[in-house]
Chains A and B, each alone.
Chain A
């Protein structure tokens, strides 16, 4: 099955700086890559996703890039704010088999005011 690795496990940035979280996947058939934000005690929330036919997608301060050849994708948050502090999970869905989402291990982002 799919194996998703995520780095770093923790990340601290100063308010206003950028944050980058990276994930790699193993199954070249994977075609959908969402990112979730989970605040303490809350449910994971889908914040952005990218499909395999697209290299980059932006939504205000958040962007995701995908390199299919290298099988890695990244989340970029610019102009970070304290409310960006949360755990972020990447995931990948393969186009074969059960089409399940496989999650990375998570990154705890802390934005220091």
Chain B
């Protein structure tokens, strides 16, 4: 499996500001994803980060709110824009290896918006 790191691990932000979360993998991976996990809830896919092209967003998530970059096969960023308290959540990076089946998660970024 790949070693996945995320920065920051947690942050407390003010309403109306933006936060960029970084995801770094120790090896090249085919697929990178961003998930949100609200307290006590399951994992919800925000988008698939595509290398060299625009991310593919799931229903309910838009690029203006969650811009994503993936400049290469080992790194991606997710920005949470114009934050509100409803954005308080854990944001997880995930990668797929081994031909795209097995999927592993980063440690997550715990975001609190005041």
Chain A contact residues, CB within 8 Å of chain B? 32, 34, 36, 42-46, 49, 51, 89, 93, 98-106
Contacts and interface: CB of A to CB of B under 8 A. Distances in A.
B92 interface: yes
A44 B102 CA distance: 13
27 contacts: A34-B102, A34-B103, A36-B105, A42-B107, A43-B106, A44-B43, A44-B92, A45-B105, A46-B1, A46-B102, A46-B103, A46-B104, A49-B101, A49-B102, A51-B101, A89-B42, A89-B43, A93-B101, A98-B48, A98-B56, A99-B100, A100-B33, A100-B45, A100-B48, A100-B58, A105-B42, A106-B41
Given A46-B102, A102-B45, 12 more contacts: A32-B101, A34-B102, A42-B107, A43-B92, A43-B105, A46-B104, A89-B42, A98-B56, A100-B33, A100-B45, A101-B103, A103-B43
Interface residues of B, number: 20
B103 to A, nearest CB: 6
A100 B108 CA distance: 19
Contacts, number: 42
A106 B42 contact: yes
B101 A104 contact: no
- Complex A-B, nearest 7 residue pairs according to Cβ-Cβ distance, in ascending order: A43-B105, A103-B43, A103-B42, A44-B105, A105-B42, A43-B107, A106-B42
Nearest to A6: B42
Contacts of B100: 99
Interface string B75-90: 0000000000000000
Interface string B28-48: 000001000000011111001
B37 to A, nearest CB: 8
Contacts of B45: 100-102
Interface centre among B42, B45, B104, B106 (most CB of A within 10 A): B42
B102 A43 contact: no
Contacts of B48: 98, 100
Contacts of B107: 42-43
